[in-house]
């Protein structure tokens, strides 16, 4: 019997949907075992009300991508929990809050002002910002109300499994689909990951090449030069977060000469990515002057350390 | 709340220096505030940033880490690592809205019983001035 699958995109960008579509032939093969009953708003033509009308616990597997940003997201996530037997938080936003999670450092007023008034392309002399209810002639128009902060979905509902990545690499998605179809799953509440760090799968890693790891003597940001393509980025001073990030991506970024920014999520069991990053980076900097240089070059340390995971920080703003 | 608020201070002390200093302070009868609760760790380099943050979110109003003086670390370089992590942690906490004075790193050697008592008294006063830690 085919596994009934529902896929919901809430606050995210749709990139995780693309990662599934990127499976191409593998997805076609998997469709033999899957029956897609709901995939809105991106793929299947099923409406929210159709999902609400389905019997409770009738769907075997529910994937949710994107974080909870407004009332509508909050409502739909709860509906998914009601209808699905297993819920997977799919991708960095659903699991950790993702890039939009950095908004938690700002007030909503500031966000609206930047997006609708101050933004370079905005032509908004009256400073109009979205309102939950607005009058248009005789009609009352509504928009989902904006919540006070970004939340990963497990702040609203129970989540059975987590998948990191922004978006998850399609090879990893294939492994996940296979694990789900065959029922080969870890205990509930786990990350679906092979459990290795990005460094473990990165060809630059000095340890894998049998070389000695040196302390970092200067800190550089990505725009301050073109890194050597062979040498470990950390050794060159670029603050790559590979040592503490789940490496299910196969070190995709470092293979194209870009430092790891941590989208894969923290390696279990820790949830606080930023504090772990301080531990790891603090241990490999050569001396305290290098730390001072780092703090000077990254005037907003929080956004560097918690680029994908601020809403999951122990110390929430 | 009829009772008067008393600060809750966690001192994470390295086994070889600061913890010995606390011992010394006791033997020499130097007093320090009872608000300070000591947690012994093998080395200040063992202190993960999570220890400090977990303490704060679970009811501590201030956290002080004590280690050996530079060059004196029993494990050679643990205290240097502690310093590097601490600098970054302090910046992060400040950005997240925690008063930077709530966390402190101090080098106190095994013979500095008096310094231990003085630093704890001073830290207690700082935390009293700041008031309770609210998330």
Domains and CATH numbers, chain B: 9-127 (3.40.50.960)
Which architecture does CATH list for A3-99+149-191?
Answer: 3-Layer(aba) Sandwich (3.40)
Beta pairing partners, B12 = B39, B65
Which residue of A lies nearest to B46 if distances are taken between CA atoms? A279
Domain ranges, ordered by start, for chain A: 3-99+149-191, 108-146, 198-312
| pLDDT reported for residue A317 | 55
With a CB cutoff of 8 Å and minimum separation 6, the contacts of A6 are A36, A37, A38, A39, A51, A59, A61, A62, A63, A80, A83, A84
Distance CA A305, CA A194 (A): 23
pLDDT in tens, A73-108: 999 999 999 999 999 999 999 999 999 999 999 999
The whole model's pTM is what?
0.91
pLDDT in tens, B69-87: 999 999 999 999 999 999 9
Distance CA A102, CA A149 (A): 10
DSSP code string of A141-169: EE-PPEEEEEE-GGGTS--SEEE--SSPP
pLDDT in tens, B88-109: 999 999 999 999 999 999 999 9
Task: Give me Rg for the CA atoms of chain A.
Answer: 21
- Could you tell me which of B56, B82, B54 has the C-alpha nearest to residue B68? B82
Q: Which of A278, A286, A296 to probe by mutation at the B interface, max B CB count within 10 Å?
A: A278
CB A257 within 8 A of CB A204: no
Q: A26-40, A215-229, A244-258, A268-282: lowest mean pLDDT where?
A: A26-40
Contact B91 A301 (CB under 8 A): yes
8-state DSSP, A116: I
With a CB cutoff of 8 Å and minimum separation 6, the contacts of A130 are A112, A116, A143, A146
Distance CA A197, CA A244 (A): 6
Q: Tell me if ipTM is over 0.90.
A: yes
Among A278, A283, A288, the residue with its CB nearest the CB of B89 is A278
CB B68 within 8 A of CB B44: yes
């Amino acid at each position: 019997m085919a596994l009934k699958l529902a896929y919901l995109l809430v606050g995210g960008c749709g990139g995780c949907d693309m990662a599934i579509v990127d499976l191409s032939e593998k997805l076609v093969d998997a469709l033999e075992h899957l029956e897609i009953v709901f995939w809105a708003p991106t793929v299947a033509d099923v409406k929210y009300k159709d999902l609400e009308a389905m019997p409770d616990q009738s769907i075997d597997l529910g994937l949710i991508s994107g974080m909870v940003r407004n009332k509508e997201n909050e409502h739909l996530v709860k509906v998914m929990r009601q209808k699905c037997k297993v819920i997977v938080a799919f991708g960095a936003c659903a699991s950790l809050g993702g890039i939009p999670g950095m908004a938690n450092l700002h007030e909503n007023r500031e966000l609206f002002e930047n997006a609708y008034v101050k933004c370079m392309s905005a032509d908004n002399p009256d400073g109009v910002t979205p309102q939950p209810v607005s009058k248009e002639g005789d009609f009352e128009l509504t928009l989902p109300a904006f919540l006070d902060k970004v939340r990963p979905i497990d702040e609203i509902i129970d989540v059975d499994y987590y998948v990191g990545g922004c978006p998850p690499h399609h090879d990893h998605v294939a492994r996940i689909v296979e694990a789900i179809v065959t029922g080969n799953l870890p205990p509930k509440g786990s990350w679906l990951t092979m459990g290795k760090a990005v460094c473990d799968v990165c060809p630059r890693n000095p340890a894998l090449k049998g070389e000695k790891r040196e302390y970092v003597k200067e800190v550089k940001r990505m725009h301050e030069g073109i890194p050597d393509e062979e040498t470990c980025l950390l050794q060159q001073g670029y603050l790559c977060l590979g040592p503490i990030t789940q490496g299910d991506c196969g070190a995709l970024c470092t293979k194209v000469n870009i430092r790891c920014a941590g989208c894969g999520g923290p390696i279990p069991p820790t949830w606080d990515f930023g504090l772990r990053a301080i531990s790891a980076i603090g241990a490999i900097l050569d001396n305290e002057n290098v730390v001072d240089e780092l703090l000077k070059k990254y005037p907003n340390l929080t956004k560097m350390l918690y680029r994908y995971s601020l809403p999951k920080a122990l110390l929430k703003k | 709340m009829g009772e008067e608020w008393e600060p809750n201070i966690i001192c994470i002390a390295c086994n070889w220096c600061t913890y010995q200093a606390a011992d010394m302070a006791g033997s020499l009868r130097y007093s320090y505030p009872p608000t300070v609760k000591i947690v012994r760790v093998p080395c200040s380099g063992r202190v993960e940033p999570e220890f400090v943050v977990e303490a704060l979110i679970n009811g501590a109003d201030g956290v002080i880490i004590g280690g050996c003086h530079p060059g004196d670390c029993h494990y050679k370089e643990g205290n240097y690592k502690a310093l590097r992590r601490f600098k970054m942690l302090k910046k992060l906490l400040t950005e997240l809205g925690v008063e930077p004075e709530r966390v402190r790193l101090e080098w106190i050697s095994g013979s500095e019983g008096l310094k231990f008592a003085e630093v704890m008294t001073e830290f207690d006063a700082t935390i009293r001035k700041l008031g309770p830690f609210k998330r």
